[in-house]
A = this chain, B = another copy of it.
Amino acid sequence: MIIHLKSGADEQLIAELSQEINAFRLISFGKDTLVCSSVIKEIPDRYTSIIDSWVAFPNDMQLANIDYTNSKREIDLGFGKIGGNTSNTAVIMGPCAVESMEQITQSAELIKSLGLSVLRAGSFKPRTSPYSFQGLGHKGLEHLDIIRHEYGLKIITEVKDASHVDDIIAFADIIQIGAKAMYDNAILKKCSKTDKPVLIKRGFGTKLQEFVQAAEYILSGGNENVILCERGIRTFETKTRFSLDLCGAAYLKEYTNLPIVLDPSHALGFAYGVPDLARASMAMGVDGLLIEVHPNPAHAKSDAAQQLDHDTFKDLFESLKKIAGALNRNII
């Protein structure tokens, strides 16, 4: 249940109600708001005086629910807005991992040359094997910071576990929560206490309901700037790494108020079909694309098979612009 409080409502009553229904208090669209479990369907009469309006939902998809807002949330990424009535699609690209200054300098040059504004690159890499490359860690953030200032780019980078969540929140322009970390309540709660945009990647075994509930952790803590990223789910098929769940994206677009970003690179796991999938994603009218591009994919330290080289990305970008044009969308 979401409850909008009257302005100037009695703080003592608010506290009692909060306690009784075990609610979170937040500012939601400028309003003093309480949110509690959807199990609660009614409010005792004694609180009538402090309540402006309330709405009950059938399950714990509440603040993210399109029925709460009747419109999409608009989120400012620093270089432009997505969602709302913007018809904007953010094209976000860069290498899987920061590997060296030289590498991300080349990435930054490409981004600038295409008129784009944001660089993606991970520095804390969640790796399944302890024996794989684990990322440059804080050194990587230093590299990214230099690029950020030199090229005037925004940086999206990933938090993989709670041990460095504070550092990523302080550093990133857009915080990315990885697919393996999206159930991590400690990360989610920390990200609810900033107002930076947070892009949550759907776990590859995560149901849409659970995915939206991860967003609810952040929204209920008071951060309204949450973006959902579908990046492929694990199915029985093994010829491809994962399967990009566009049906799931269609569901999220229909039933939630959050912007949707699609990541075709991790979904397919191979570069060959990423351009086709990126075009498909653009034609769906989503709010962003996240694409892995590396100056020299064959020598990438992680995800070598799936990163596009620069020339392939340039060709792809031309066709993305054409599709955007045909459908009256703007690329930012």
Contact = CB atoms under 8 A, between A and B. Distances in A.
Copies in the complex: 4
A205 B206 contact: yes
A70 B91 CA distance: 33
B279 A283 contact: yes
A221 B60 CA distance: 40
A161 B180 contact: no
B132 A161 contact: no
Interface residues of A, number: 83
Given A60-B129, A203-B205, 15 more contacts: A37-B131, A60-B132, A128-B209, A129-B216, A130-B213, A130-B216, A131-B220, A161-B185, A205-B236, A207-B238, A209-B239, A237-B248, A240-B247, A247-B267, A276-B283
Nearest to A36: B131
Interface stretch (A48-56, A103-111, A227-235): A227-235
A122 to B, nearest CB: 13
A210 interface: yes
B130 A24 contact: yes
Interface stretch (A81-89, A168-176, A318-326): A318-326
Contact of A126 (B62, B134, B183, B325): B183
A323 B324 CA distance: 9
A315 B186 CA distance: 40
29 contacts: A24-B130, A35-B131, A36-B131, A37-B131, A129-B213, A130-B217, A131-B220, A161-B161, A161-B162, A162-B163, A180-B183, A180-B184, A181-B183, A205-B236, A207-B238, A235-B235, A235-B236, A235-B245, A243-B245, A247-B267, A250-B272, A250-B276, A253-B273, A276-B284, A276-B285, A277-B284, A279-B283, A279-B327, A323-B327
Interface in A76-119: none
